[in-house]
Amino acid sequence: MSTNSKLTEPIIRVTDVSKVFGRQKEQALKLREAGQSKYEVEQATKTTVAIYNAHFEVKKGETFVLIGLSGSGKSTLLRCLNGLVEPTEGTVYLENTDISHMPKRQLQEVRRNKIGMVFQNVGLLPNRTVIDNITFGLEIQGVSANEREKRGKKALEMVGLNGQAYKRIYELSGGMQQRVGLARALASEQEILLMDEPFSALDPLIRRDMQKLFLDIQGEVQKTVIFVTHDLDEALTLGHRAAVMKDGEIVQLGTAEDILSQPATDYVKLLVQDVNYGKIRLAKDAVVPVETAAYEYESPQVVLRRMRTNHLSTIFVLDSADRLLGLMSIYT
């Protein structure tokens, strides 16, 4: 995870949101409140409490992750944030405006101008050019052709596809198409982006690439992103903070360090066990090359930048004779 000093203002506030699917909504919530599990309530009422009592804030410029197993309520909660799902209880505020019970037409405006959504399958138009695909959303929003071209090219540069602007989508490899999808999302007009498992279907190598690319671009554009994943590694890599969901409830909310060092429940402990330990079998596999160390005479800004580039939260600090002085962490 990375730090960002601008992360102070809340842009989205979710207060005590519950979402119930089924007929016996009140009864289901009552039973849930009395301590019955989501499953027990389903058995008793044929009604699903998909989200129970969620509250959190997302700050401007933050990448906020919702993480949990399939069925834990991530997509439902995400869809509450742009009004695609109306909460049964509670309120979602977007910059202090209640958007959870807004008329449809007004919501469409909000989605067009403020809060965009990226789906798992990229949904590019195969017969249009790369640049057309990237700027399609901008065209709908009435951004001028000049400006569209400028932004489109900038986005392509960010994803390393400069030369491909006038190729058609079907001419590109799968990995390149993914890049175009990401460029389109991040070049969009909206300040807030909802991303529902955008990389989950990708094979691990391309996925790693896309995660790196996401960090690079997000470092530059600094949108507010709410990112859904079932992969804790991905959550910890991409997010400033993450909310861990289980059976419709947020069981822990915090930074990578919070979650890894102090898992709040046995469930989080189980999730955390797989991180690193599963992937890194020997300490030597986790060693970061020495060129990513820092020297005591370097300015903190320079060191932080190097840490960001290399996706490190901690770095060794050496004196001019390469002796180890200690560690520098983004959290200090």
Give the SS3 label for residue 222: coil
Contact 212, 237 (CB under 8 A): no
Q: Which of residues 46-75 bind Mg ion (CB under 5 A)?
A: 75
Is residue 177 a contact point for Mg ion (CB under 5 A)? no
- The DSSP-derived string for 244-263 is EEETTEEEEEE-HHHHHHS-
Phi-psi region of 284 (alpha: psi -120 to 50; beta: other; left: phi over 0): alpha
Is residue 70 a contact point for ligand ADP (CB under 6 A)? yes
Residue nearest to Mg ion (CB): 75
221 binds, among Mg ion, ligand ADP, none (CB under 5 to 8 A by kind): none
Strands of 115-118's sheet in order across: 115-118, 192-196, 224-229, 63-68, 241-246, 249-254
Q: How far is the CB of 102 from Mg ion (least distance, A)?
A: 23
Stretch that binds ligand ADP, among 63-71, 87-95, 101-109, 204-212 (CB under 6 A): 63-71
Q: How far is the CB of 120 from ligand ADP (least distance, A)?
A: 11
Rounded distance between C-alpha atoms, residue 90 and residue 95, angstroms: 16
For the chain, how many residues are written?
332
Is residue 21 a contact point for ligand ADP (CB under 6 A)? yes
Task: Give whichever of 7 and 242 is closer to ligand ADP, judged by the CB atom.
Answer: 242
Q: How far is the CB of 219 from ligand ADP (least distance, A)?
A: 27
Q: Which of residues 71-100 bind ligand ADP (CB under 6 A)?
A: 71-76
Contact 264, 251 (CB under 8 A): yes
Residue ranges that bind Mg ion, judged by CB under 5 A: 75
Residue ranges that bind ligand ADP, judged by CB under 6 A: 21, 48, 50, 68, 70-76
